[in-house]
C-alpha cells in the first residue's frame, strides 16, 4: 500500500516593499549630475550626511528637490512604487508641488546644474534646521520613521529567506522551514502595515506650517540665486581663479555669498575699487623704452640672435636647434629699461582689531583683495596677515602659493570672513613680515599695512624696524582707513608712504596701487 504524502501547503505571497526612495523620476544624467555635485560641493555632502543622521532617506529628499529645480518636466512616481519609509519626504514635497514659488524658482534653475544645486543646498539647510529644532516632527515621530525603515528591511529579509528555501534540494525540509518563515514574514508585513498607517495618520495631522517647510524655505531664494550667481562670477574673474570653475566650487562660493551679507557688500566695494586700480595701472604705451645690454643662453624665441635663425635652413642644424631649444641653450639677448624694483612678493598686514568693525572692515578688506588681484596679474607672491592684540595669534595665509600664481577662492573668502576683534599691535605683524622678507622666496618684497592707525610702538622696536627696513631694502606702504576715528601719527614714523582710504576714490589712488 503506497504511503500517503503530506499535502504541500499553499504558498503564501509576501509583498516586498519597493527599494525606491525618490518621489521624482530621474534618468541616468540627472542622477549623475547630482552625484557629481555631491562629490564636488562639500556643503551639499555635509547637508546629506547631517540630515541622514536625523531621518531615513534624507538624501532622497535632497535629490528630489534638485530634480524639481533642475528637470525640465519633473514627473512623480506612484505611491505604490516608493518605499513607505519615505512618507515624510512625500508630505513635504506635496506642499511644494505646483506651488507658485516653485514655478518662480524654476525659472532660475531649469537645466542649470549650478543654480539648481545652490538652490537645493539653501532649501535643504533650512529644512535641516527645522528638523534639528523639532519644528517639523517631535523626536518620537522621528524615531518611528527609523522603526518603519527597519521593519521594511525586515520584510525584505524574510522575502529573501523564502527565495533561498526554494532553492534547497530537500523538498520536505524546505517545506517545513518555508511554513515557519512565511508565518514570520506575515507577522512582519502586518506590523509594517500598521506602522505605516500610524505614521501616515500622524503626518496627516502635521500642522500646515510644518507641511509648508519647503515653500517657506524657497521664499526669497530666487532673488538670492540671481545675486549670488552674479557675485560669484565677479569674484571668480576678479580674483583670477584661472580656467573654468567646477560646478561644485561655484556652489560653494554662491552659498557663502548668499548666506553672508558682509561678503555681498564687500564684493560691491571690491568691484569698484578693482576697476579703478587696474585702470590707473594701464600704461599709455604697450612697450617701454628698453635697450639690448647682454647675451645669454635661453629659450625665448622672441629674443633669438640672427645666427641662431640661420640654423633653421639646414636639416641637421634644425634638429640641433630643437635640442638646444628644449635645453634652453639658444643664444638670446636681454633687455634693460623699466625699473623692476617693487615687483617682488607682496605682504599685506590687515588690522582686525575691534576698532575696525563695520565700514572700516569692508574698506580694509576691499583694499587687500584689490592688491591681491594686482599681485596675481604681476605674478607676485601674496601673503596675508591679519592681526589684532599682541596675545592673539596672527592669521596668515598664502593666497597664491603655486607657480602660476592663481588665487585660491576659498582662501580669499576665508580672508573676507575672518575678523578676530580685540586690541591693536603693530609690532607683532611687522616683525613677522621682517622674518618673511628674510627668506629667499620673499626677498625684495613690499609690505602694505592696512589699519586705522590707532596704535603706538616702542622707540626701541621702531629703531630696529627702520634699521632692518634699510638693510633688507623694502618699502612699507600704509593705507589709513579713515572712514571713522583714525590716527596717522605712528604710520608716518615707520612708513615710506601713507595714503588714506578716502583718497582712493580720486587721483591719489596712485599713491598705493600704482607704486606697488
Q: How far is CA 492 from CA 150, 359, 386, in A?
A: 72, 23, 21
pTM above 0.75, yes or no: no
Q: Residue 181 above 70 pLDDT?
A: no
Q: Does pLDDT of 506 surpass 70?
A: no
Residue 293 pLDDT more than 90? no
**For residues 202 and 196, what is the distance between their CA atoms, to the nearest angstrom?**
10
Q: Which residue(s) pair with 291 in the sheet?
A: 336
Higher pLDDT, 140 or 336: 140
Q: How many CA atoms lie within 13 A of 206 on its CB side?
A: 24
- In total, the chain counts a number of residues equal to 516
**CB burial string 220-252: b at 16+ within 10 A, e below:** ebbebbeebbebbebbbebbbbeeebebbbbbb
Q: Is 334 left (phi over 0), alpha (psi -120 to 50) or beta?
A: beta
Split at pLDDT 50, 70, 90, the class of 2 is very low
Q: Of 76-80, 266-270, 284-288, 320-324, which range is least confident?
A: 284-288
Whether residue 1 is predicted with pLDDT greater than 90 in this model: the reply is no
- Tell the residue number behind the cell numbers 512625500, with chain if given: 90
Of 160 and 14, which is predicted with more confidence? 160
With H, G, I as helix, E, B as strand and everything else as coil, classify residue 134. Answer: coil
Give the tens place of pLDDT for each residue, 429-456.
888 888 888 776 666 778 888 888 888 8
The more confident residue out of 343 and 451 is: 451
How many Cα atoms are found within 13 Å in the side-chain-facing hemisphere of 15? Answer: 11
Residue 435, pLDDT score? 86
Residue 468 contacts by C-beta under 8 Å, 6 or more apart in sequence? 434
Let me know if 276 is exposed, middle or buried by CB neighbors in 10 A (0-12, 13-18, 19+). Answer: middle
Give the residues across from 297 on adjacent strands.
331
Strands (E) in 352-489, as ranges, are: 382-387, 395-398, 446-451, 476-480
Whether residue 190 contacts residue 14, with contact meaning beta carbons closer than 8 Å, is answered with no
Among the ranges given (176-190, 345-359, 370-384), the one the predictor scored with the smallest mean pLDDT: 176-190
What confidence score (pLDDT) does residue 283 get?
47
Average pLDDT, the chain: 77
Model confidence at 47, in pLDDT bands (50, 70, 90)?
Answer: very high
- Cβ-proximal residues to 351 (8 Å cutoff; 6+ apart), any chain: 364, 387, 388, 424, 449, 450, 451, 452, 481
Confidence of residue 61 (pLDDT cuts 50, 70, 90): very high
What percent of the chain is predicted at pLDDT more than 70?
74
Q: Higher-confidence residue: 266 or 337?
A: 266
- What CATH number belongs to 346-513? 3.40.50.410
How many Å apart are CA 511 and CA 321, to the nearest integer?
Answer: 47
Task: Please state the domain extents for the chain.
Answer: 10-219, 220-281, 293-335, 346-513
Instruction: Work out whether strand 446-451 and strand 476-480 pair parallel, antiparallel, or are unpaired.
Output: parallel
Q: Pick 170 or 121 by higher pLDDT.
A: 121
Amino acid at each position: 500500500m503506497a504511503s500517503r504524502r503530506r499535502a504541500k501547503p499553499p504558498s503564501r505571497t509576501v509583498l516586498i516593499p519597493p527599494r525606491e526612495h525618490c518621489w521624482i523620476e530621474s534618468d541616468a544624467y540627472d542622477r549623475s549630475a547630482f552625484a557629481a555635485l555631491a562629490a564636488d560641493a562639500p556643503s551639499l555632502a555635509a547637508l546629506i550626511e547631517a540630515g541622514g543622521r536625523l531621518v531615513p532617506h534624507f538624501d532622497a529628499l535632497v535629490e528630489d528637490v534638485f530634480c524639481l529645480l533642475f528637470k525640465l518636466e519633473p514627473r512623480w512616481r506612484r505611491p505604490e512604487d516608493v518605499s513607505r519609509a519615505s512618507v515624510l519626504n512625500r508630505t513635504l514635497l506635496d506642499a511644494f508641488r505646483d506651488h507658485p514659488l516653485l514655478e518662480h524658482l524654476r525659472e532660475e534653475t531649469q537645466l542649470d546644474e549650478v543654480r539648481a544645486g545652490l538652490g537645493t543646498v539653501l532649501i535643504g539647510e533650512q529644512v535641516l534646521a527645522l528638523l534639528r529644532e523639532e519644528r517639523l516632527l517631535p523626536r518620537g515621530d522621528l524615531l518611528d520613521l527609523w522603526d518603519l525603515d527597519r521593519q521594511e528591511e525586515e520584510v525584505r529579509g524574510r522575502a529573501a529567506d523564502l527565495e533561498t528555501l526554494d532553492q534547497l534540494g530537500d523538498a520536505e525540509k524546505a517545506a517545513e522551514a518555508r511554513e515557519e518563515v512565511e508565518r514570520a514574514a506575515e507577522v512582519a508585513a502586518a506590523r509594517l502595515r500598521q506602522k505605516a498607517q500610524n505614521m501616515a495618520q500622524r503626518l496627516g495631522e502635521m500642522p500646515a506650517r510644518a507641511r509648508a517647510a519647503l515653500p517657506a524655505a524657497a521664499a526669497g531664494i530666487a532673488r538670492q540665486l540671481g545675486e549670488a550667481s552674479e557675485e560669484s562670477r565677479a569674484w571668480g574673474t576678479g580674483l583670477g581663479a584661472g580656467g573654468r570653475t567646477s560646478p561644485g566650487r561655484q556652489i560653494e562660493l554662491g552659498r557663502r555669498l548668499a548666506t553672508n551679507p558682509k561678503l555681498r557688500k564687500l564684493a560691491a566695494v571690491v568691484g569698484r575699487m578693482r576697476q579703478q586700480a587696474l585702470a590707473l595701472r594701464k600704461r599709455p604705451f604697450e612697450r617701454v623704452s628698453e635697450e639690448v645690454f647682454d647675451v645669454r643662453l635661453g629659450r625665448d624665441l622672441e629674443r633669438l640672435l640672427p645666427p641662431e635663425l640661420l640654423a633653421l635652413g639646414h636639416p641637421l642644424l634644425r634638429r640641433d636647434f630643437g635640442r638646444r631649444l628644449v635645453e634652453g641653450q639658444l643664444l638670446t639677448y636681454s633687455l634693460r629699461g623699466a625699473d623692476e624694483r617693487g615687483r617682488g612678493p607682496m605682504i599685506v598686514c590687515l588690522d582686525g582689531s575691534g576698532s575696525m568693525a563695520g565700514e572700516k572692515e569692508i574698506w580694509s578688506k576691499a583694499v587687500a583683495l584689490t592688491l591681491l588681484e594686482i599681485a596675481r596679474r604681476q605674478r607676485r607672491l601674496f601673503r596675508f596677515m591679519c592681526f589684532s592684540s599682541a596675545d592673539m595669534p596672527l592669521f596668515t595665509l598664502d593666497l597664491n602659493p603655486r607657480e602660476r600664481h592663481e588665487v585660491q577662492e576659498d582662501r580669499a573668502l576665508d580672508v573676507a570672513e575672518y575678523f578676530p576683534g580685540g586690541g591693536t599691535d603693530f609690532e607683532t605683524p611687522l616683525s613677522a613680515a621682517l622674518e618673511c622678507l628674510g627668506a629667499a622666496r620673499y626677498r625684495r618684497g613690499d609690505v602694505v599695512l592696512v589699519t586705522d592707525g590707532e596704535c603706538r610702538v616702542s622707540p626701541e622696536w621702531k629703531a630696529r624696524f627702520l634699521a632692518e627696513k634699510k638693510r633688507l631694502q623694502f618699502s612699507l606702504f600704509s593705507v589709513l582707513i579713515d572712514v571713522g576715528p583714525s590716527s596717522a601719527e605712528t604710520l608716518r614714523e615707520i612708513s615710506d608712504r601713507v595714503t588714506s582710504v578716502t583718497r582712493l576714490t580720486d587721483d591719489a589712488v596712485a599713491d598705493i596701487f600704482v607704486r606697488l
